[in-house]
């Protein structure tokens, strides 16, 4: 008998949070939760959903990987000519979400994305495995391609000519500067804990609690 998805439920019992127990700086709180996710061997702890808005007003979401937190900003890398790259160059406003079901936690972040300096993109690009470097070069990300195009052969060609592996100008990093961060901890009976941080006019963080 087919299960009614409306009947699927899970009781969240693994933890609780209170505003008084959270650091005044949300980046410190984020780093603590990320470390706990990594140490708990959560599947893909650095993966987050990135939501953008395209030029026609259509929201788009996809999963990307966090590659650093520097000066309070969240860093990831992509092809600037990809759909997300085009979206971000059109409108830098983003929403991102980390979800760690094993810990019954999520973190929601609203902010603004901007390109990082090219030297930082170089440093990360050349730290990647050669295969990944070559893949970034041969893939015209998000564009339609012929099904007979053999990207694997193109990668092999580049690997046999490593001097040709140079970071393309259209590939690099973005940094997201947050203005709102919310920490969510699942609780029994759907009375979830939600602690938010809102950046004020003076660039200080206001901390508070939201109804579940």
User: What are the extents of the domains in the chain?
Assistant: 11-126+171-210, 134-166
Q: Select from 32, 8, 76 the least CA-distant residue to 195.
A: 32
Q: How confident is the model at residue 153 (pLDDT cuts 50, 70, 90)?
A: confident
Active site annotation includes 187 = no
Please say if the pLDDT value at position 124 is more than 90: yes
User: Which residue would you say has higher pLDDT here, 83 or 1?
Assistant: 83
Residue with tokens 């127990």: 21
41, 104, 169, 179 from 173: Cα distances, Å? 26, 30, 11, 20
Q: Enter the tokens of residue 78.
A: 């992509």
pLDDT at 34: 98
pLDDT per residue over 86-105, tens digit each?
Answer: 999 999 999 999 999 999 99
Is residue 141 predicted with pLDDT exceeding 80? no
Q: Chain-wide mean pLDDT for the chain?
A: 93
What percentage of the chain reaches a pLDDT higher than 90? 78
Tell me the C-alpha distance between 33 and 39, whole Å: 10
What is the number of other CB atoms lying within 10 angstroms of the CB of residue 99? 18
User: pTM of the prediction?
Assistant: 0.91
The residue ranking higher by pLDDT, 71 or 7, is 71
Mean pLDDT value across residues 33-44: 97
Helix (DSSP H) and strand (DSSP E) numbers for the chain: 5, 9
Q: What span, in angstroms and rounded, lies between the C-alpha atoms of 6 and 13?
A: 21
The beta strands (E) that lie in the chain are given as 47-53, 59-65, 68-70, 73-79, 93-100, 105-115, 171-185, 193-199, 205-210
Strand partners, 102: none
Span 139-143, average pLDDT = 73
pLDDT, tens only, 182-204 = 999 999 999 999 999 999 988 89
Residue pair 47/38 in contact (Cβ under 8 Å)? The answer is: no
Residue 128, pLDDT > 60, answer yes
On whether the CB atoms of residues 54 and 90 are closer than 8 A, the answer is yes
Please check whether the domain covering 11-126+171-210 is classified as CATH 3.30.70.870. no
> Which is catalytic among the residues 108, 128, 190, 209?
190
pLDDT at 148 over 60: no
The span from the CA of 126 to the CA of 152, in Å, is: 20
What is residue 1's predicted lDDT score, i.e. its pLDDT?
A: 59
Q: Contact at 8 Å (CB) between 174 and 75? A: yes
31-40, 124-133, 152-161: which range is least confident on average? 152-161
């Amino acid at each position: 008998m087919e299960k009614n998805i409306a009947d699927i439920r899970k009781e969240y019992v693994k933890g609780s949070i209170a505003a008084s127990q959270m650091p005044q700086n949300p980046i410190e709180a984020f780093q603590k939760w990320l470390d706990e996710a990594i140490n708990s061997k959560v599947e893909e702890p650095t993966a987050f959903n990135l939501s953008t808005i395209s030029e026609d007003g259509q929201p788009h979401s996809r999963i990307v990987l966090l590659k650093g937190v520097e000066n309070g900003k969240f860093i990831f890398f992509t092809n600037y000519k990809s759909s997300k790259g085009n979206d971000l160059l059109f409108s830098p406003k983003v929403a991102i979400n980390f979800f760690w079901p094993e810990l019954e936690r999520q973190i929601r972040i609203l902010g603004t994305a901007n390109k990082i300096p090219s030297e930082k993109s170089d440093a990360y690009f050349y730290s990647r495995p050669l295969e990944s470097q070559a893949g970034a070069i041969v893939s015209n990300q998000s564009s339609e391609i012929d099904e007979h195009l053999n990207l694997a052969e193109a990668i092999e060609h580049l690997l046999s000519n490593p001097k040709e592996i140079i970071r393309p100008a259209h590939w690099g990093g973005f940094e997201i500067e947050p203005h709102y961060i919310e920490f969510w901890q699942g609780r029994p009976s759907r009375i979830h804990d939600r602690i938010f941080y809102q950046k004020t006019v003076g660039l200080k963080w206001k901390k508070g609690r939201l109804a579940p």
